[in-house]
Amino acid sequence: MISALIEKPQVESDLMNAKNIFLENILNKATIRDFFKVPLHQTGLTDEMYQSLDHTHFNDPYDTLIYSKLIERAIEMNPEVKEIIDCGTGSSIPGLLAIKKSGKKIRLTGVDIDPDAETIANKNATRLGLSDQFKFVNQNFEEYIKTVTLDSSMMIVSNPPYIATPPELSSPHFLPVNGGHDGATYVKQLLLHDYPPETTVVLLWGSLTSPEEIIPLINKNYSLDYVEAFKIHFGEYTRDEQMRRHLYQLRSAGKIHFEMSLENEEIQYVIGTILKTKPEN
């Protein structure tokens, strides 16, 4: 029961801060698809290629395949792209699938601090026949980007940890989703990097990330070329009792946003954005 976790907010105004920011800046502009309680095979996301690939300890097919479709869209919108840098790549499934479906000779550089991900990502590249187009870099993505000279033929993509997570959930199990207390830690790192003008940045994040931290950065430094939102149910990580308590507390304080279904189940939004850094004045 929700009441066993945390008291419900007393007034609707408690929820209006994050809710209104998302409505005005994201949801009112987005293509919204409702995947709440929709089985994966009915979403149109998955295919036979995905089923044959290996995963890291993070294995959320909805999140993974939504991200892959977002990269596909970004490739379509940016036909000049020749290289994609995937920050926090993990298994590299999303980028590899997107490149495979594009049929283009796009290079993918997957960057991740998890050394175990390298073997898995290379196996996936081999299975898809993309070994000659793939490189794995075992490094912090922020440090790696500093070493690269970006140009208009390159695209930054990332599905970073973006769920607001209490500090007591510091175990490796929660590492793939742990975006810090308000969910914004790694999303902000990506948005604050000093990219050249008109660099495309493809970012998957969500309504369990504080919009007060993210939206002003997007509005100041980027144009929003495309946005989509997916309504999904709470999953393996967000159903943890400590996690849920933390999320309800942040929602009550107006810091994050999720909704309730008619059956009193939580609905969160996964948000895909294709951004472009603003040109120099």
Biggest CA pair distance of the chain: 58
Q: Compute the distance between CA of residue 133 and CA of residue 107 in angstroms, rounded to an integer.
A: 5
What does the DSSP 8-state code read for residue 143? Answer: H
- How confident is the model over 243-259, as pLDDT tens digits? 999 999 999 999 999 99
Residues 6+ apart with CB under 8 A from 232: 35, 36, 62, 267, 268, 269, 270
Q: Compute the distance between CA of residue 168 and CA of residue 170 in angstroms, rounded to an integer.
A: 6
Q: What residue spans define the domains of the chain? A: 2-277
249 near 79, Cβ under 8 Å? Answer: no
b/e map 4-38, b = 16+ CB within 10 Å: ebeeeeeeeeebebbbebbeebbbeebeebebbeb
Give the model's pLDDT for residue 60.
Answer: 87
Give the model's pLDDT for residue 58.
Answer: 83
Topology classification of domain 2-277:
Rossmann fold (3.40.50)
Give the model's pLDDT for residue 142.
Answer: 87
229 near 271, Cβ under 8 Å? Answer: yes
With the C-alpha atoms ordered 30, 34, 40, 41, is the resulting torsion angle positive or negative?
negative
Give the model's pLDDT for residue 7.
Answer: 40
- How confident is the model over 128-186, as pLDDT tens digits? 999 999 999 999 998 999 899 999 899 999 999 999 999 999 898 999 999 999 999 99
Q: Compute the distance between CA of residue 69 and CA of residue 101 in angstroms, rounded to an integer.
A: 10
The residues of the chain scoring below 50 in pLDDT are 1-14
* Chain centroid to CA 87: 11
What does the DSSP 8-state code read for residue 1? Answer: -
Residues 6+ apart with CB under 8 A from 18: 207, 210, 211, 212, 251, 254, 255, 256, 257
